[in-house]
Amino acid sequence: MEGNPRNAAVWSHGFVLIGSRDAEIPQSGAPFGPEWETVGFLSGDEGFTESVDVETNDHFAWGGVLLATTKSNFKLTKNFTALEQNKVIEDLVFPGNTVEYDDIGGHEGMIVVPELQDEFRIAFVNRSGSRRVGRTEKRFVSAGYAMIDDRGDAQDSETELASRELTVAFYGDEADEDGNQNLIYKWAGPIDGS
């Protein structure tokens, strides 16, 4: 059997960070700066799901002969399920709210009709390994900007942790001289420390 087992992975840790639209993207495994905030605990069972949607249209000549297929409207989304209700999640779901959170789980303020075009940068990070054997990290960071594409249902329950699924859509940065737009910065490799 051919292949490289290092290219297959189960990730023991995952987290999501949110930054402003112009937050610096750390390169080559450098730490994320103070302008990035974590969304808190996530559902490991749900993990991160990435989806690519492309519209396809077949063009036929008289008699049913397929002449061409056009593809357009590329859309990349990724989702996660948050297990915390905190200021970062509140701002993603209801941008413009005045809710303030304290350090002991309390909060107070008003939810306003959200600004649905709120733009930000997002980083999906997976990590595995230990200090003893070494740690590996994988990053998937919006190179342009991101927006909430779907605000999933929030669930409060007697038998499950409270949760909210969020789906994020990715948008490219400015086009270069060849018309290419950077969409995602990806990096994976060994990391130091915790």
Tell whether the torsion through CA atoms of 73, 95, 37 and 41 is positive or negative: negative
pLDDT digits (tens, 9 = 90+) for 74-106: 999 999 999 999 999 999 999 999 999 998 889
Q: DSSP 3-state assignment of 171?
A: strand
131 three-state secondary structure? coil
The neighbouring-strand residues paired with 69 are 58
C-alpha 124/C-alpha 117 separation (Å) is 21
Q: Per mean pLDDT, which range of 39-43, 122-126, 134-138, 150-154 is the poorest?
A: 134-138
Looking up tokens 């948008």 gives: 171
Domains of the chain from N-terminus onward: 9-191 (2.30.110)
SS3 93: helix
Query: What span, in angstroms and rounded, lies between the C-alpha atoms of 53 and 77?
Result: 8
Instruction: Name the pTM for this structure.
Output: 0.90
Angle CA 9–18–182, to nearest 5: 75
